Amino acid sequence: MAAPELVRRHNIKLSGRADGQPIVFAHGFGCDQNMWRYVAPEFEDDYRIVLFDHIGMGQSDASAYDPDRYGSLAGYAADILDICRALELDEVVFVGHSVSAMMGVLAAKEEPDRFAGLVLVGPSPRYIDDDGYVGGFGEADILELLDSLESNYLGWSSAMAPVIMGNADRPELAAELTESFCRTDPDIARRFARVTFLSDNRADLDGVTTPALVVQCSDDAIAPVQVGKYVSAQLRNASLVLLEATGHCPNLSAPGPTVAAIAAFLRQLPARRAVR
């Protein structure tokens, strides 16, 4: 696909240094690129910033949504690679929040030479508990969550946003997330939710050699600390930063510590072109 068409389809926004090392920011379920507005600008002086919306989210072209392609996270990972190819990005630092973290893992596993680093913010390779593995939810809990979402998406959005965001003393954050959910096409959101909460990508962590940073909040109802520790332990070349922060969206609730963690990781990358 030609770059201009892909830019339109994914509402791609470019900023920062045109000759800088690219940082690609990917948002989580029910969100859009606006969720990075407190983080991405902090890197514009030294890096080329790439923001985009997943198909069906934000200002993307929802008519491009293909249930078969997006029936697994592999379809979203393919989009990330398409964007990198169309924009001729190399030595990419990929920053993925929530479910996008696993998309980045899949993309880096497919084309390891294209990526210089992975920043995985609140990642979870499997949300459902398993023998010897803590995902944070029982299978019945996830099925109930999906049933609720499918029967009353708007009600689910207003009920779940405060749980996902945390920070009950800052209700404006949950309100923003609720509004973001409500802007998403309900049918696409239902399909994306099933892909997000029923996927098991634990095996995909094996063999990923790209340097990685796992950014984990100390109190996260969606991806508990055990999950962050698991991801960092399973990746061959990963470190873990535990933020003293509440909720699943530190890019909104704790942008300062999130920026600091990413900046420290960038300084350690051997192939970096610019130093923050």
pLDDT digits (tens, 9 = 90+) for 197-223: 999 999 999 999 999 999 999 999 999
DSSP E strands in the chain: the ranges are 13-16, 21-26, 47-51, 92-97, 115-121, 212-219, 238-246
pLDDT of residue 97: 97
pLDDT of residue 1: 67
**Which residue type occupies 21?**
Q
> Residue 154's pLDDT band (boundaries 50, 70, 90)?
confident
Mean pLDDT over residues 242-259, rounded? 95
Residue 67 exposure: Cα atoms within 13 Å on the Cβ side:
6
> Residue 170's pLDDT band (boundaries 50, 70, 90)?
confident
* Token pair 């099933």: residue: 194
Residue 17 exposure: Cα atoms within 13 Å on the Cβ side:
15
> Residue 276's pLDDT band (boundaries 50, 70, 90)?
very low
Catalytic residue among 10, 54, 97, 248: 248
Among 107, 7, 130, 133, smallest CA distance to 61 is for: 7
Q: Higher-confidence residue: 272 or 218? A: 218
**Is residue 82 flagged as an active site residue?**
no
Q: At a CB cut-off of 8 Å and minimum separation 6, what does 179 contact?
A: none
pLDDT of residue 93: 98
pLDDT, tens digit (0-9, with 9 covering 90-100), for 91-140: 999 999 999 999 999 999 999 999 999 999 999 999 999 999 999 999 99
Residue 99 in contact with residue 73, Cβ under 8 Å? Answer: yes
CA distance 14 to 18: 9
**Is residue 27 flagged as an active site residue?**
no
Mean pLDDT over residues 18-44, rounded? 96
Does the domain at residues 3-127+199-268 carry the CATH identifier 3.30.70.20?
no
pLDDT, tens digit (0-9, with 9 covering 90-100), for 46-86: 999 999 999 999 999 999 999 999 999 999 999 999 999 99
**Is residue 98 flagged as an active site residue?**
yes
Average model confidence (pLDDT) for the chain?
93
> Residue 229's pLDDT band (boundaries 50, 70, 90)?
very high
Catalytic residue among 98, 124, 157, 180: 98
pLDDT of residue 204: 97
* Token pair 């200002």: residue: 59
Adjacent-strand bridge partners of 128: 137
Catalytic residue among 97, 220, 232, 253: 220
CA 231 from chain center: how many Å?
Answer: 14
Residue 251 in contact with residue 96, Cβ under 8 Å? Answer: no
Does 273 have pLDDT greater than 70? no
pTM for the model: 0.94
Q: Higher-confidence residue: 276 or 29? A: 29
